[in-house]
Amino acid sequence: MVEGANREQTYPLEVLAIVQARGGSKTIPRKNLRLLAGHPLVAYSIASGLAAESVTRLIVSTDDAEIASVCKSYGAEVPFLRPTELAEDATPDLPLFQHALDWLENQQGYYPHLVVQLRPTSPLRPLDLVDRAIATLIASPRADCVRGVTIPNQNPYKMWRTGEDGFLKPLLSSEFEEPYNMPRQHLPTVYWQTGHIDVIRYETIVKGRSLTGERVLPIMIDPLYWVDIDTEADWTYAEWLINSNRLPIHQPYSSTV
């Protein structure tokens, strides 16, 4: 039986990092195991979590035995294999986290105070990002979640959709008159969620049945680190960034190499 943190205690906080890595991928086959600058893609998120001083435990949720074996060699725990019905293309994130937390509490008597989501498709993270995000949530007891964001190049007030008549309609309704014709600097600042990190309170997931809750704090991501690997072009760019040593990141380490 693994002892988890007592829900009533304040310090030390039990912080669980979860890396989700399913075996299937349509755009880039076996993406999580493909070598990116010499290491499997999933290994970069494992390295970021293991390097964080605030993270007390890191697990990988996967449906794939080969991924499980590789992740263990890079220092992650893989205490279970995720059910195949939770590894489909259209499976949202929330059921994966509910399954992981239910399994850990029911099988090991373990539950954390905070949960950190580290998506493998955003492999490049600033060295202190995970600890900063955790500290931000700890310092803000009213917040349900901290989410990594950046300021996008495009503003949704200047975006359009097509109506049934085929004519363009503004994507957003607005209190501004014709915001799509206004200078960008006069429009509200907007943020794009990058996928690098979320830090969520345990109660938000388990009781609130949400991965964000209602009170979400931003943590800014340097846009130089913004890579979301979905295409071969994304892969090439990420590999170039790593090989060029332009950005400080935590390098993966495998016990089998």
What is the rounded average pLDDT for all residues in the chain? 91
Question: pLDDT, tens digit, for every residue of 102-114?
Answer: 999 999 999 999 9
pLDDT digits (tens, 9 = 90+) for 120-151: 999 999 999 999 999 999 999 999 999 999 99
CA 50 → CA 42, 130, 137, 191, distances in Å? 13, 10, 19, 28
- State pLDDT tens for residues 15-57: 999 999 988 777 888 999 999 999 999 999 999 999 999 999 9
Contact 116, 198 (CB under 8 A): yes
- Structural domains of the chain, ranges and CATH numbers in brackets: 15-149+193-243 (3.90.550.10), 153-190 (no CATH)
Q: Which two tokens stand for residue 30?
A: 């076996």
What is the number of other CB atoms lying within 10 angstroms of the CB of residue 27? 11
Over the stretch 48-83, which tens digit does the pLDDT of each residue have? 999 999 999 999 999 999 999 999 999 999 999 998
